[in-house]
Structure 1
């Protein structure tokens, strides 16, 4: 079992000391819709502002719209376009400036879940024919990829087309050769230099930020670039940060310098804005003598009572042996923002200036914080109940959900249901969830009409599970 748990297509769940293994599942939106050249053309148009991803249905018609919409979805795989059809400025600008754009795309794809699995499997298939490799990748897709617009597994015709596009993508950017064999051996264990330089970049920010604040924001653009582009791209390049799963963004303030600069890492399912939801964030103290790696909550659009409740929920999932602190002693300074950010912090670890850990330890801390973050997301969405072997604090996921909904306002409850269903890979409009909720509150007998395959059964199933009705 320990060997199988290392495979990238296997998901491990640990509940009440019972370890279970299952195949990870992905959706058709996670794999290419079209060939690589169409994606490149779309990205070029995006860089040159020749295309507005939010207005494709207005600017294009017929076959041209079909091609552009496929390319837009493929740009989402890279994380360059989000689910609201908005560009990720950090990734787009870095792509625009990249001397070798194929290498840039390659680095992004190698961190994406299903692409990583395909590369792994192709390495296992080095000794078979090219045709057999393609057949095996098609078969893999039919086993673990579901239709993004329904719940059925990917059918054979779609598997053939999408798998072929995926293999061509990997060939075009140099991940695999013309025979579809990986250019790098997945199984060769070798020491490699840590490609990130996060420790030095964070130290540079602490050393230079106060000096930069003596000038207006526009006078020292390199500081803004460091926080908004350089550090986020270093985080994106880590092998456990997939650009289509996370948004990484930083801020030194808008119009004037922030008293507490920050770099946030947000799971797209939970939030795409630091004003709401919960996320991982590096917070710098006002005096730049320390930086904290934290899990925090957006303070602008989250009520104080809600912050307190979610903080306690997150803390209850962190094992007692963890190095992360779960008290309220974080000290960012005396300013309003410093106090607000400190209040919204659920867990943290402090790094003092001049006593930074080495790069490997710093990255491992971030990886551990990501695990805690993702575990809590699983508990909230009901995807996988989590517990810890030694001194964990975690309750069963359905108990957490039932406790949670007792204290939510109707607006927050609808938002929770919407997020839960979205986390399952199903995309209903928030207005549809709102209508179903209000209909059920008005009369518990509701008839949902529509043609076959539009998700009538699933919306009811996930709605029920989102409020803890699993039995």
Structure 2
């Protein structure tokens, strides 16, 4: 298989960022060659494989193309300026055992495992940098450290290379250090996005560091405390330290903060927060190659704010997952705020989302590798930020089997129990809440491999159907803008606080409840005839939905709001045989019309009706759906809201 020709340097750099965040997966390392970039080495084929995700939306299977000299893979990397070295080849760095710092690091880690807090046996300087060592004062520190400082810098208000040993995780990090006590006054000059320690912990360890989260990761080493050399490669330790010292010595440190840091995280301060405006997302999405209609976006965002559980159903390949992914990345300042989880057909309980207590060791908890549980924990810790759990192909398994705890917690507002211990197990609390800043989005396709939703699920969600009409397809085929969803990352992050505020606000103003209530009662009476009537919860959520749309200043009429509410909250629960529901579908169709006409004729010659004519049709969206359901029940003898 040939490598796609549209992979550019920006895609390769994004792939390197992904490896920095997530590490090298099992069997992902290279055998003979590495890419050498910014003082680090990376597997060439893994870079190209991940780059294809950025360029074409799918990971390239590494066994589908070759690596090695004069191959397509290496030619691509070298074309874009990347250096490829043999694994046995040493980088331009001379290792001198007599001046090696690795022995000091080895001694430091071994002492960190004891209760010895003395530091007078350590050298005072290394390569003209002052050495400061700390194992704690009075009691052993959880994170002992070695810092190397230039003249004028201090651990209390400076920047410096620093080794941090996270004893609980047997993890040594060489970091671009930032003082925690006072503002540093200077910053690191990093030419490419570098992970903070907090981001490293979130992505790799599914938790947060106890301290030093704002410093940046240069290198990391997992320590084997049972071996004499701690599984540390002396050459690599010295090579990494030489690289960070070189960067440090070339900084222009002074009184002014002249140099900026470029972390992966896009940080937005409180005074940068602005009022949420859905139109900004629509415009940014179009610039990224995604053309969603204004009305679809308004319905989606208003549904999230009404109740943070939305189901996206409809035509396969119509943009359901892309909308969820695009909006969540646009509004989030940090990649860890979004978790996309493909649902497995073998999910029979909650463990794939919530994990489980370790049956062999009662002091440990096994968290799911997909990061869903950590997302819930983060959402509870940072209530001002939005967090998104996107369940792709949600109905590949019975939803009620793996999602029951979520469905119950949505209504009871009680915590979901995780384990029985009063202490945290592996950093996991005894129970977890579903906070109002957590947004659950499920995408759904209908075929012979999927399952239908029960009324219990549909009653707790807004279901938005995706269709593609002739004009939309024509616009898509004529659109020359290349899809690049990465352009959306954090562009709307300044509106995140206001978006969460809208979702948390209990009462949104709406001035025409009389018309809304009258329409709902008309539909209630007819739905009751087929056993699909709605309860107080649905009525309350529809009224809230109307207020949310009104708060977005969309200019929607009451009829448009009613139409969307009928489509998303009432029609999804209708299903059954022709004998049972055909009469009611006719009546529901008549309720969508302004005047009483021969509804049978309307159903048969629907194409002749102008849905945009407000003098004929009150609720065009709902009418079109009812006509399609009626057509299906006549042809097949059965119908439901979901269509293949």
TM-score (norm. length: structure 1): 0.29
In our comparison, the structure showing a higher alpha carbon Rg is: 2
Name the structure with the higher helix share: 1
TM-score (norm. length: structure 2): 0.23
